[in-house]
């Protein structure tokens, strides 16, 4: 047994980690032990990528099968990272349609979590650009699933957290781009109302996201910087610059766990104040930035999760339906601001419909907050969850390590349909993760 955890480093649990070398070996690994799940690059925050008994490491499967530049369709093995995809096909004029906040996730993981990016409000999630999936089910079948063939398995696998089987390969559509640069416009918003108005006004922008200063209180509650973005054309790239910038490996790495007291209400407030002022100075005009800092600001700090110390941290990401969003988000931010230990990663963004049966997004606003794991944080988040559930919202499974079954079941009304499909693909229940044990499986 090996101790395994997700990106948040909580929980840390025992699971056998296997590194199969062939698809046949993946099948054997699934069949041989009831209770396994595939793991990509381990960037799910909680327990989604950890097998109940056995964890199947997939990053060795990183081959491209075929690529058609005429259509942008690519067939690849599911362990390939988006960073690899971007580095390899970016210079040829193709990018994934959807990228999450880190490029160090696998394609299989991106499908299983139906990850969303800064363009979800207008272009949908990662699953929308998946043409088909080669899936190894829990009962040992290898099936090709698409919108036309095995459609139930297809829509259950998108956002299905790996619980329909092991995603072996996928065909996805890439976006043709002229350059690897983004034309960015920064807007500063003095409070939550202004931030939400700015996001609404940014609906026509391809990319939009708000960073919230969650240390701000009172009249400043919810003050934000809104980042709008569009792909820059070849004529917008500064003379002498490469059409496609190079994505550097994390230069600055966090070599050690910081003492958990490093982040306290004073350091966080100071950081947020500084960040807001620096950003507000850039507000107004538009400028062209490399896609890497635009999409993946934290990727430049390797192992940034260690900032939170050895005990790890929790990310709480909820989505609140549009009609009640203003009041509920205001209440959550007020409580967080009062508490004082939410961190610099507070993000607000508009979402549209998800494509998978269990996809997280629904039309409304999503708020993501980080908390160091200490004190009464679990109780505090349970209280927040009550607000989310009452508003008809839900939590993102890829970030979750602690929500209750009641919260989960209230947030995902399509769960029964998902469970029925999962059962038909895996009657014996071979595919099980720590997350499924916590939230899905019959006890």
Partner 1 sequence: MTPRKSVLVLGGSSDIGRTAARAFAKAGYDVALAGRDVAALKPDAADMRARYNVDVGVFKFDVLDTASFEGFAGGLPALPDVVISIVGLLGAQERAQSDLAHATTIMRSNYEGPSLILGLFAEKFLGRGNGTLVGVSSVAGDRGRASNYVYGSAKAGFSAFLSGLRARASRSGVHVVTVKPGFVRTKMTEGMKLIGPLTVEADVVGDAILKAVEKKTDVVYVSGKWRLVMLIIKTLPEAVFKKLRF
Note the residues at the interface with partner 1 (CB under 8 A): 19, 21, 63-67, 74, 88-89, 92
Nearest CA to 21 among 66, 74, 79, 71?
A: 79
* 308 secondary structure, DSSP code: G
- Joined tokens for residue 94: 């193709």
Q: Which is nearer to partner 1, 66 or 379 (by Cβ)?
A: 66
Q: Report in angstroms how near the CB of residue 181 gets to partner 1 at its nearest.
A: 22
Backbone angles phi, psi at 169, to 5 degrees: -140, 165
Three-state SS for 376-429 is CHHHHHHHHHHHHHHCCCEECCCCCCCCCHHHHHHHCCCHHHHHHHHHHHCCCC
Q: Which is nearer to partner 1, 67 or 271 (by Cβ)?
A: 67
Contact 355, 126 (CB under 8 A): no
Q: Which is nearer to partner 1, 64 or 414 (by Cβ)?
A: 64
Q: Which is nearer to partner 1, 12 or 64 (by Cβ)?
A: 64
Q: Report in angstroms how near the CB of residue 66 gets to partner 1 at its nearest.
A: 5
What is d(CA 58, CA 23) in angstroms, rounded to the nearest whole number? 10
What is d(CA 96, CA 335) in angstroms, rounded to the nearest whole number? 37
Q: Report in angstroms how near the CB of residue 29 gets to partner 1 at its nearest.
A: 14
Q: Report in angstroms how near the CB of residue 296 gets to partner 1 at its nearest.
A: 20
Q: Report in angstroms how near the CB of residue 23 gets to partner 1 at its nearest.
A: 10
Can you say how many angstroms the Cα of residue 304 is from the centroid of all Cα atoms in its chain? 16
What is d(CA 103, CA 43) in angstroms, rounded to the nearest whole number? 10
Q: Which residue has the tokens 């931030």?
A: 195
Q: Which is nearer to partner 1, 89 or 129 (by Cβ)?
A: 89
Q: Report in angstroms how near the CB of residue 92 gets to partner 1 at its nearest.
A: 8
Q: Which is nearer to partner 1, 17 or 190 (by Cβ)?
A: 17
What is d(CA 361, CA 119) in angstroms, rounded to the nearest whole number? 12
Q: Which is nearer to partner 1, 63 or 287 (by Cβ)?
A: 63
User: Cα angle vertex 329, ends 328, 331, to 5°?
Assistant: 65
- Identify the helix (H) or strand (E) that includes residue 226: strand 224-231
Q: Report in angstroms how near the CB of residue 68 gets to partner 1 at its nearest.
A: 9
Contact 132, 150 (CB under 8 A): no
Q: Report in angstroms how near the CB of residue 76 gets to partner 1 at its nearest.
A: 8
Q: Which is nearer to partner 1, 89 or 227 (by Cβ)?
A: 89
- Joined tokens for residue 299: 């990727």
End-to-end Cα distance, the chain: 23
What is d(CA 235, CA 163) in angstroms, rounded to the nearest whole number? 46
Q: Report in angstroms how near the CB of residue 19 gets to partner 1 at its nearest.
A: 7
Contact 292, 299 (CB under 8 A): yes
Q: Which is nearer to partner 1, 69 or 413 (by Cβ)?
A: 69
Strand order in the sheet with 36-39: 2-4, 13-18, 54-57, 36-39
Contact 99, 117 (CB under 8 A): yes
What is d(CA 311, CA 58) in angstroms, rounded to the nearest whole number? 27
Q: Which is nearer to partner 1, 19 or 287 (by Cβ)?
A: 19
Q: Report in angstroms how near the CB of residue 63 gets to partner 1 at its nearest.
A: 4
What is d(CA 161, CA 419) in angstroms, rounded to the nearest whole number? 12
Q: Which is nearer to partner 1, 57 or 198 (by Cβ)?
A: 57
Q: Report in angstroms how near the CB of residue 388 gets to partner 1 at its nearest.
A: 40
Using DSSP, state whether 245 is helix, strand or coil.
coil
CB atoms closer than 10 angstroms to residue 261: 10
């Amino acid at each position: 047994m090996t101790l395994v955890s997700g990106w948040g480093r909580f929980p840390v649990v025992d699971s056998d980690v296997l590194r199969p070398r062939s698809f046949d070996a993946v099948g054997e690994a699934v069949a041989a032990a009831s209770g396994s799940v595939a793991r990509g690059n381990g960037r799910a925050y909680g327990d989604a990528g950890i097998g109940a008994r056995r964890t199947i490491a997939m990053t060795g499967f990183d081959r491209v099968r075929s690529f058609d530049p005429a259509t942008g369709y690519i067939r690849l093995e599911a362990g390939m990272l988006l960073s690899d995809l971007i580095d390899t096909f970016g210079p040829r004029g193709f990018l994934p349609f959807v990228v999450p906040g880190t490029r160090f996730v696998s394609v299989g993981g991106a499908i299983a979590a139906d990850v969303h990016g800064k363009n979800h409000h207008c272009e949908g999630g990662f699953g929308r650009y998946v043409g088909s999936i080669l899936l190894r089910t829990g009962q040992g079948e290898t099936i090709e699933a698409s919108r036309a063939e095995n459609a139930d398995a297809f829509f259950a696998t998108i956002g299905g957290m790996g619980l329909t089987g092991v995603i072996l390969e996928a065909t996805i559509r890439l976006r043709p781009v002229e350059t690897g640069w983004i034309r960015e416009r920064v807007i500063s918003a003095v409070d939550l109302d202004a931030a939400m108005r700015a996001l609404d006004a940014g609906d026509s922008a391809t990319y939009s996201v708000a960073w919230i200063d969650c240390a701000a209180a009172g009249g400043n509650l919810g003050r934000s910087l809104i980042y709008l973005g569009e792909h820059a054309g070849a004529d917008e790239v500064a003379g002498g610059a490469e059409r496609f910038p190079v994505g550097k490996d994390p230069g600055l790495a966090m070599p050690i766990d910081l003492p958990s007291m490093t982040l306290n209400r004073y350091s966080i407030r100071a950081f947020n104040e500084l960040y807001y002022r620096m950003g507000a100075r850039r507000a107004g005009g538009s400028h062209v930035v490399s896609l890497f800092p635009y999409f993946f600001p934290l990727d430049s700090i390797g192992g940034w999760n260690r900032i939170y110390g050895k005990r790890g941290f929790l990310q709480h990401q909820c989505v609140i339906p549009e009609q009640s969003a203003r009041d509920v988000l205001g209440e959550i931010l007020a409580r967080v601001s009062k508490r004082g230990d939410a961190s610099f990663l507070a993000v607000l963004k508009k979402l549209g419909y998800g494509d998978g049966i269990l996809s997280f997004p629904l039309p409304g606003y999503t708020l993501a907050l980080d908390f160091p794991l200490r004190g009464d944080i679990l109780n505090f988040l349970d209280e927040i969850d009550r607000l989310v559930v009452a508003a008809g919202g839900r939590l993102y499974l890829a970030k979750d390590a602690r929500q209750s079954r009641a919260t989960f079941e209230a947030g995902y009304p399509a769960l029964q349909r998902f469970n029925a499909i999962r059962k038909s693909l895996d009657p014996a229940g071979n595919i099980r993760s720590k997350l499924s044990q916590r939230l899905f499986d019959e006890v």
